[in-house]
């Protein structure tokens, strides 16, 4: 990992992404890019002929954003003088502008909190996080305002517990490579999990049908276990233990959220796209529910449909 982009909107909640992300950058000796976006629309409608007023408003907003990011940069340099810290302020639609900034900066990762209200902006980090996860071609680390996000990467053993849902597709496995950069050098444990949707019960009391249904589910479980173990053997990150788990459920997202509550991981890592021959679910819709329902940091990576 060489560079991380952190979008900021001037709010304290947005700044909650700074400490864990700076620790991750220090772990890899990576550069940091602090980015903000000034809306390309003024906050109130202006009458025709107010061009000078509009231009003045944009200039003032950009100056305020630059001053703010410069202050944050100096704070980071005070604690981590070895880190290279850049600032970027652009004007335009927030998501597409941030995507452009990430590309121009050569960022390997975008890290941000999922909600925020800026001093000079309308609230945008909630919708921005959603837009980045859906459109970014680079990994996105979504952080919250709670303890699990605040303590992420606090020492060499963090994150000590990670859950990775896989659905049997190469697309879902795309998360493994960027996840490797976030794993600790020692003491970590990753659980690869597949959820099998249970078949609808047959509307019959005929015993051979019930036996056939049971045998079919057992065969799917066996194949899923073989798949997960094969992924674990081929991935095998250094210093990290990998276990596997297959769950039968009627609702994929609900089963994963229950597993998260049971295991209390420090990080959830997933692909936002994928359709597998093992569990036959589209991870995009499941990921959407997990990001909103799991109160923990989420590493998400999007891959285009042709990778499914």
Reduced to 3 DSSP states, what percent helix, strand and coil does the chain have, rounded to the nearest 5? 45, 20, 35
From 89, 121, 145, the end of a domain falls on 145
C-alpha 289/C-alpha 305 separation (Å) is: 20
- Stronger pLDDT, 54 or 165, i.e. the higher one: 165
pLDDT score recorded for residue 39: 75
Is the residue at 150 inside a domain? no
Please count the CA atoms within 13 angstroms of the CA of 3 that sit on its side-chain side. 16
93 shares its domain with 31: yes
Residues 228-238: b if buried by 16+ CB within 10 A, e if exposed: beebbeebebe
From 91, 113, 145, the end of a domain falls on 145
197 shares its domain with 114: no
Residue 282 scores a pLDDT above 90? no
Domain tally, the chain:
2
Q: What is the pLDDT of residues 95-113, one digit of tens each?
A: 999 999 999 999 999 999 9
C-alpha 203/C-alpha 224 separation (Å) is: 27
44 shares its domain with 127: yes
E strands along 132-261, which residues?
Answer: 140-143, 161-165, 188-197, 240-249
State pTM to two decimals: 0.85
pLDDT score recorded for residue 212: 58
pLDDT score recorded for residue 220: 86
* Arithmetic mean of pLDDT, 238-243: 90
Is the residue at 151 inside a domain? no
138 shares its domain with 184: no
* Arithmetic mean of pLDDT, 270-279: 58
128 shares its domain with 81: yes
Is the residue at 243 inside a domain? yes
208 shares its domain with 273: yes
Is residue 30 very low, low, confident or very high in pLDDT (cuts 50, 70, 90)? very high
Of 122-126, 127-131, 301-305, the poorest mean pLDDT is in 122-126
Residue 33 scores a pLDDT above 50? yes
pLDDT score recorded for residue 54: 63
Q: What is the overall mean pLDDT for the chain?
A: 83
Is the residue at 156 inside a domain? no
209 shares its domain with 76: no
- Stronger pLDDT, 41 or 98, i.e. the higher one: 98
Is the residue at 213 inside a domain? yes
Of 133-147, 222-236, 282-296, the poorest mean pLDDT is in 282-296
Is the residue at 155 inside a domain? no
279 shares its domain with 169: yes
From 95, 119, 145, the end of a domain falls on 145
74 shares its domain with 7: yes
Is residue 42 very low, low, confident or very high in pLDDT (cuts 50, 70, 90)? low
255 shares its domain with 172: yes
Give the domain range for residue 110.
3-145
- Stronger pLDDT, 159 or 117, i.e. the higher one: 159
In percent, the amount of the chain with pLDDT more than 70 equals 80
Is the residue at 236 inside a domain? yes
Is residue 208 very low, low, confident or very high in pLDDT (cuts 50, 70, 90)? low
137 shares its domain with 200: no
Checking DSSP bridges between strand 31-38 and strand 85-91, what pairing results, if any? Answer: parallel
Given a contact cutoff of 8 angstroms between Cβ atoms, the answer to whether 179 and 164 are in contact is: yes
Map residue 29 onto helix, strand or coil.
coil
CATH code, domain carrying 79: 3.40.50.620
193 shares its domain with 278: yes
Is the residue at 154 inside a domain? no
């Amino acid at each position: 990992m060489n560079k991380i982009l952190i979008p900021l909107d001037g709010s304290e909640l947005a700044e909650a992404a700074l400490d864990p992300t700076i620790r991750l950058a220090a772990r890899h000796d990576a550069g940091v890019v602090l980015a903000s976006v000034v809306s390309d629309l003024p906050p109130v409608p202006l009458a025709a002929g107010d061009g000078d007023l509009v231009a003045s408003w944009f200039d003032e907003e950009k100056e305020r954003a630059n001053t703010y990011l410069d202050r944050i940069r100096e704070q980071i340099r005070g604690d981590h003088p070895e880190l290279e810290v850049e600032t970027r302020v652009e004007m335009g639609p927030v998501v597409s502008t941030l995507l452009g900034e990430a590309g121009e900066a050569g960022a390997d990762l975008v890290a941000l909190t999922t909600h925020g209200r800026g001093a000079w902006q309308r609230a945008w980090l909630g919708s921005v996080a959603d837009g980045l996860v859906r459109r970014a071609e680079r990994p996105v680390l979504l952080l919250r305002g709670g303890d699990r996000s605040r303590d992420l990467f606090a020492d060499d053993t963090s994150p000590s517990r990670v859950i990775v849902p896989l659905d049997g597709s190469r697309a879902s496995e795309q998360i493994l490579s960027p996840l490797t950069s976030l794993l600790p050098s020692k003491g970590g444990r990753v659980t690869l999990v597949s959820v099998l949707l249970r078949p609808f019960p047959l509307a019959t009391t005929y015993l051979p049908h019930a036996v056939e249904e049971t045998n079919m589910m057992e065969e799917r479980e066996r194949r899923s276990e073989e798949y997960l173990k094969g992924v674990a053997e081929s991935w095998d990150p250094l210093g990290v233990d990998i276990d596997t788990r297959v769950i039968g459920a009627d609702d994929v997202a609900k089963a994963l959220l229950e597993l998260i509550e049971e295991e209390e991981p420090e990080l959830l890592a997933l692909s936002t796209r994928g359709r597998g021959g093992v569990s036959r679910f589209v991870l995009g819709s499941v990921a959407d529910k997990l990001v909103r329902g799991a109160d923990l940091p989420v590493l998400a990576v999007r891959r285009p449909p042709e990778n499914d």
